[in-house]
A and B are shown apart, each in its own frame.
Chain A
Amino acid sequence: MADLLGVWVTVFFTLAIYTFLYKENPWFRIAESVYLGIATGYIITVDLKYLRDQWTGVWSSTGFMMTAFAFAILIGLLWYFRFSRKYFYLYRWPLAIIVGTGIGQAMQTIIFAQFLSQIGGQISLPLFVAGDPLTSFNNILIAIMVPCVLLYFWFTGGTHEFGAMKVIDKIARYTMMAGFGSAFGYTVLTRYALFIGRAQYLLGIPPNPPEAKMAFITIAIAFLATLIGYDVVKKQT
């Protein structure tokens, strides 16, 4: 019974979110608010569980560790001064620690992981791969396009007015347009994939519960009747 109720609730909220495609309406507002409430509650629960595990597993072992843990909790509580006008500045301390540690940690390896490695990868590309003309063509394109795009963003000394640079700029623009087109295509792929996943649930395609199909038909009719019915009545009055 609980599983069946869960299926109907899932279908209800899925369709309630999709009613936004028709127009802004109370069904969507309900689903949106419930989703935000549940997501926030879940985040708080997971965070508290993490703190509990850290305490029992690591930080409760010695007096020094306990003091350090209590100090970290106190620093964490300073986040809530975000809501105080008078003591707002205290909120910046935990923020500074979070941002500082994050940037510091990333900076340790970013030059090697994302700068030198990419340059190395670019240089080491073989322009001609025996027996694989498509890869050769691809590598030649990369060897031309990447430097052109880099030069496109070189703004020193008005060099873009020279003849050769005009050609480079043109290649760079086409390269970037191809890149944006690829990103757009993959975005469409993802959006449809997300929709297909929900549609599979609504139709009860295994391993999704088959009861979802009946719930889908019933709730979809109810939503359409209320939304279109409301518009028709509003038009007549």
Chain B
Amino acid sequence: MSLLEKLHSIDRRWIYLLAWIAVLVPLANPLGLPVSIGRDSTSYYNYIEGIPDGSVIMVTFDYGISAMPELYPLTVATFHHLWSHNFKVIVVASWREGPMVMDIVLKEMKPAETYGKVYGEDWIELGWFAQQEVGMAALGKDISGTLPVDYIEKKPTTGFPIMQDVKTAEDIDLLVSFETGTPGLPEWVRQWGTPYGTPMIMGCIGVMVPEVAPYLQTGQLGALIPGLTASAEYEQILKHPGLATAGVDAISMSHLLVIVLVIIGNAAYFMSKSGGSS
């Protein structure tokens, strides 16, 4: 059997094994490959830095547990950034599993002990709102009416000091969205960006980038962190290395493997084509 025939009949499980090796080996034995800082992560960082102290920032979990491997490091880094300033942070979720992810964030970050943030004064979690885009529209019109009870203390939302001056989307100075699909940015732009002019920045999984990138060009989106690699860059800018930085070697090696496999696959294809025609 020629090499070409062997390549055509290779068991796909060997490819899976190579993928496991390409990820596990650099994770277990870090290579220390450098992380170059790109424009996206710098822009995201600068956008938050440009927000004045005391501003009200709404963070929305538009993803669930399944997207945690890619978006969780960015979520932690962003909360580290926000809680390192004197912002008022309101956390909501358009995905049902959002509050579950936030539970894990809180367990790791401990905002009261680490950042001295008081629940109800400096930040609040309002939980999940139903009905996706319709829910976003309702939230924009009346935040406390749409989410009348907070998620953590289960008390009336209107009773917390942070909510005294926050009634509608017009009182929100920035919306930070972590997104993995629908509902996500297009819905926020339709229900908050266009009617209220709420500024937005976001982090998303790689698959979403071609869909949301056009909003950057129009200015409807202020900044975008696309995927795990840019999250690692953002961690580097913050000097707060986390899981994204720890995964950089594995990202590089796995992508290298994909590139090599694409080259081999194309070479085999063209070789078989030229062999067939001769």
Seen from chain A, the residues whose Cβ lies within 8 Å of a Cβ on chain B are 21-22, 42-43, 46-47, 50, 53-54, 56-58, 98, 101-102, 105-106, 108-110, 112-114, 117-118, 120-121, 125, 142, 179, 182-183, 186-190, 192-200, 203, 205, 207
The 25 sampled A-B contact pairs (Cβ below 8 Å) are A42-B96, A43-B96, A53-B154, A56-B148, A57-B156, A101-B134, A113-B186, A113-B193, A114-B186, A117-B194, A142-B217, A186-B206, A187-B207, A189-B229, A190-B70, A190-B205, A190-B227, A192-B23, A192-B251, A193-B69, A193-B70, A193-B251, A196-B228, A197-B68, A203-B28
Residues on A with beta carbons closer than 8 Å to the beta carbon of B148? 53-54, 56-58
CA distance A195 to B250 in the complex (A): 10
A197/B243 in contact, CB under 8 A: yes
With A109-B190, A113-B190 given, is the CB distance from A189 to B132 under 8 Å?
no
B28 / chain A contacts, CB cutoff of 8 Å: 203
Smallest CB-CB A-B distances: 5 pairs: A197-B69, A57-B148, A121-B218, A189-B206, A186-B206
**B interface secondary structure, majority:** helix
* Contact of A189 with B189 at beta-carbon distance under 8 Å, contacts A118-B214, A197-B72 already known: no
State which of A186, A193, A203 has its C-beta within 8 Å of the C-beta of B24: A203
Contact B189 A200 (CB under 8 A): no
- A20 CB to closest chain B CB (Å) equals 10
Chain B residues with CB under 8 Å of A43's CB are 96
Nearest CB on B from A181, distance (A):
10
B226 within 8 A of A: yes
Q: Mark B91-115, 1 if CB is under 8 A from A, else 0.
A: 0000011011000000010000000
**How many cross-chain pairs have Cβ atoms below 8 Å apart between A and B?**
157
A112–B214 contact, CB under 8 A? no
B173: Cβ under 8 A from any A Cβ: no
Q: Does B166 contact A (CB under 8 A)?
A: no
CA gap between A80 and B24 in the complex, in Å: 47
- Is B255's CB under 8 angstroms from A188's CB? yes
Q: A21-B16, A199-B23 are in contact. List 15 more A-B contacts (CB 8 A).
A: A42-B100, A53-B127, A54-B148, A58-B148, A105-B190, A108-B195, A109-B190, A121-B217, A121-B219, A183-B210, A186-B226, A192-B255, A193-B227, A196-B247, A199-B27
Contact of B255 with A200 in the complex, beta carbons under 8 Å? no
In the bound complex, residues from chain B placing their C-beta under 8 Å from that of A193 are: 69-70, 205-206, 227-228, 247, 251
B149, A57: Cβ atoms closer than 8 Å? yes
Q: Mark B202-217, 1 if CB is under 8 A from A, else 0.
A: 0001111110001001
What chain A residues lie within 8 Å of B130 (beta carbons)?
47, 50
Q: Tell whether, in the assembled complex, residue B227 and residue A199 are in contact, meaning their CB atoms are under 8 Å apart.
A: no
Nearest CB of chain A from residue B242's CB, rounded to whole Å: 8
Contact in complex: B191, A109 (CB < 8 Å): yes
For A190, the chain B residues whose CB sits under 8 A away are: 70, 205-207, 227
**A interface footprint on B229-266 (CB within 8 Å = 1, 0 otherwise):** 10000000000000100110011001100100000000
Interface residues of B in 1-50 (CB under 8 A from A): 13, 16, 19, 23-24, 27-28
B58 within 8 A of A: no
Nearest Cβ on chain B to A130's Cβ, whole angstroms: 18
B157 at the interface (CB under 8 A from A): yes
Q: How far is the CA of A98 from the CA of B96 in the complex (A)?
A: 18
A51 to chain B, nearest CB (A): 9
Q: Smallest distance from the beta carbon of A29 to chain B beta carbons, Å?
A: 19
Contact A102 B96, CB 8 Å, known A186-B206, A197-B68: no
Q: Is the CB of B207 within 8 A of A46?
A: no
Separation of A102 and B39 alpha carbons in the complex (Å): 36
Bound CA–CA A198/B137 (angstroms) = 35
Q: For the complex, what is the distance from the CA of A199 to the CA of B254, rounded to whole Å? A: 12
Complex contact B205–A120 (CB within 8 A)? no
Q: List chain B residues, Cβ under 8 A from A109.
A: 190-191, 194-195
**Is the CB–CB distance between A106 and B246 below 8 Å?**
no
Residue of A nearest to B142 (CB): A58
Residue pair A200, B243 in contact (C-beta under 8 Å): yes
Q: CB-defined interface of B134-153 with A at 8 Å, one 1/0 digit per residue?
A: 10010000000101110000
Contacts of A142 in B (CB 8 A): 217
Judge whether B171 is part of the interface by a CB distance below 8 angstroms: no
Chain A residues with CB under 8 Å of B205's CB are 190, 193
Judged by a CB distance under 8 angstroms, whether B168 is at the interface is no
Q: A113-B193, A114-B186 are in contact. Are A195 and B156 (CB under 8 A)?
A: no
Asked whether, in the complex, the Cβ of B207 is within 8 Å of the Cβ of A195, the reply is no
CA distance A198 to B108 in the complex (A): 17
| Complex Cα–Cα for A101 and B205 (A) | 29
